[in-house]
Amino acid sequence: MMNEIKYDVFISFKNTDKDNQPTLDSEIAQKIYKELEQRNIQAFFSNIRLFQFGEAAYKQAIEEALDQSKILIAIATSLDYLNSKWVSYERESFHEDILSSRKENAYIIPYIKNIDINALPRSLRGYETFSIDNNSIEEVVNFVIACLKKSNEYKEKKFEKSLTTGKRASTYDPSSKKELRRLKIQADNTRQADTPAIEYCLTNLPKKDKIYILDAGCAYGFVTKDRFSNIANSQVIAADISKKCLEYAKEHNDAENIVYEYLDLESETLESDIEEIMDKYGIDKFDIIFSSLVIHHLKNPNRFLRKIRKYLSKDGFIILRGSDDGSMVSTGDNGLIEKVIQMHLQADGISDRFNGRKLYGQLIASGYKNVKMMSCIKETSSLDIDEKEDIFLERFEYRKTYLQNALEKDPYNMDKKNALDAMCYALDMLENIFSEESFWYSEIDFVAVGKRV
Ligand SMILES: C[S@@+](CC[C@H](N)C(=O)[O-])C[C@H]1O[C@@H](n2cnc3c(N)ncnc32)[C@H](O)[C@@H]1O
């Protein structure tokens, strides 16, 4: 099932020409789509991105939309395009439904150019035809509205759009409810990666009365509390730029040895801001600086690493954890994970998806010594169905957010809508696959440990 939207109008057109370039028909379709959407009419157009999941996926999406729609707009700038495989299929199926009375008060609206009326296929002859040269898109849409009114399908009021397509979803926000849950799950799923690295540092630190720890980019404090609240004689400063996250952390992930503080790791005043916090708690140097899944969000990770280095004690350690989409290996998904990764990579505003492999070099380049990789393999063979679902949520489900945000910024862009729908389709399939016995998934949580000197 593609999504839960009910379509009023099906826009039928030839997507690409013989050189695989977008046709003029697709440009016109885009304009009609925009005008319909702006007037609160739900329009469907075929999504060629679905072809990557096979012809069956593409056909299923078309058939669901054909079943729902009351109107089919047949756009064509040549007879060849009008008679091309999928354009014919869409129009003829719709016409069949009208003839057999499966559809009542349904209409086909030909919107054409360079085609002799007498050469029109039989299925189009009985309908009022609009000329691309002489009739504006507005006129066509006005006619659509008149037809919908006849069948009582047009409602003036604005209606909520389905979240499945992301139209009204909020932009990515680390303090969103969904992200909160994902980070909580992720904190559990990555414990086995952090624990040996933290133990290694504690074992190798010289004896001290008190151990000072900085968690840079702590979000809600799930990782902070889980990893550090039980370390004897320690004082943990957990810092983040998100005030909402910090509020939650103070309320829900409080511990005797942990304080949460606001800090922008990219600020030009980073040094004085950190020093102010250190003064407040009487800290001279940190013994451990920990940062998980944060530095790839920064514009210049090495700059941050260089600047923070001077706040480590002489014997102190830095621990960085990252992830890397290139470390994913799976069987039983028929290449679907790879497709999801590729689609995600094309989204606007994503962070570095291959940050895990860079941690070693980043620490070396930023002046740290004795850098060790203590990475950990996460894999599903011994997990139960709930744990597998958690891995899906942690590592995949959120990837549609970036496409939702892109569409939210440009809501009438068919290409962005296609990209999001294809991602939702792929994620729906992947979620099911994650619970199958034959499916196996593995990836690396990259952990790098370095010393100041
Ligand atoms: C993916 S979360 C990881 C949170 C936590 N370390 C964990 O492993 O669950 C990234 C965090 O980095 C924080 N962050 C991003 N840019 C930041 C900056 N410039 N200064 C401080 N925190 C930042 C975000 O607010 C977010 O809480």
369/408 same-domain check: yes
Flag whether 185 is in a domain. yes
Over the Cα atoms of the chain, what is R_g?
A: 28
Q: How far does the centroid of ligand 1 lie from the alpha carbon of residue 443, in Å?
A: 21
Closest CA to 261 of 291, 273, 433: 273
pLDDT score for 48: 79
Does 266 sit in the ligand 1 pocket, CB within 6 Å?
A: yes
Backbone φ and ψ of 282, nearest 5° = 65, 40
Would you give the DSSP letter of residue 379? Answer: E
Q: How far does the centroid of ligand 1 lie from the alpha carbon of residue 265, in Å?
A: 9
152/230 same-domain check: no
Count CB-CB contacts under 10 A for residue 421.
24
Question: Which residue is closest in CA terms to ligand 1's atom 13?
Answer: 217
Q: How far does the centroid of ligand 1 lie from the alpha carbon of residue 4, in Å?
A: 34
Flag whether 172 is in a domain. no
Please name the residue that has the structure tokens 């744990």. Answer: 387
Token digits for 11?
């826009």
Going edge to edge, which strands form the sheet with 9-12? 43-45, 9-12, 71-76, 107-112, 130-131
Does 226 sit in the ligand 1 pocket, CB within 6 Å?
A: no
What pTM does this model have?
0.81
Structural domain total, the chain: 2
Nearest atom, ligand 1, residue 265 CA: 20
Residue type, 319: I
236/107 same-domain check: no
Token digits for 429?
């399939």
Question: What is the extent of the structural domain holding 143?
Answer: 9-159
Q: What is the CATH number of the domain that holds 332?
A: 3.40.50.150
What mean pLDDT comes out for the span 270-282?
98
pLDDT at 159 over 50: no
pLDDT at 169 over 60: no
pLDDT score for 142: 94
What mean pLDDT comes out for the span 168-186?
74
In this structure, of 21-30, 105-114, 147-156, the range with the lowest mean pLDDT score is 147-156
pLDDT at 170 over 50: no
What mean pLDDT comes out for the span 176-185?
94
Task: Choose the residue to mutate in 178, 240, 308 for probing ligand 1, maximizing ligand atoms within 8 Å of C-beta.
Answer: 240
For 296, the 3-state DSSP assignment is helix
Contact between residue 87 and residue 120 where contact means Cβ atoms under 8 Å apart: no
Burial category of 201 from C-beta neighbours within 10 Å (exposed 0-12, middle 13-18, buried 19 and up)? buried
* Residue ending a domain, choose from 159, 185, 211: 159
Token digits for 197?
């690295």
Does 245 sit in the ligand 1 pocket, CB within 6 Å?
A: yes
For residues 300 and 308, give the distance between their C-alpha atoms in angstroms, rounded to a whole number: 13
Does 238 sit in the ligand 1 pocket, CB within 6 Å?
A: no
98/31 same-domain check: yes
Nearest atom, ligand 1, residue 215 CA: 6
Flag whether 115 is in a domain. yes
How confident is residue 19, by pLDDT bands cut at 50, 70 and 90? very high
103/203 same-domain check: no
What mean pLDDT comes out for the span 412-429?
91
Does 294 sit in the ligand 1 pocket, CB within 6 Å?
A: yes
Residues 6+ apart with CB under 8 A from 148: 8, 41, 70, 71, 154
pLDDT at 164 over 70: no
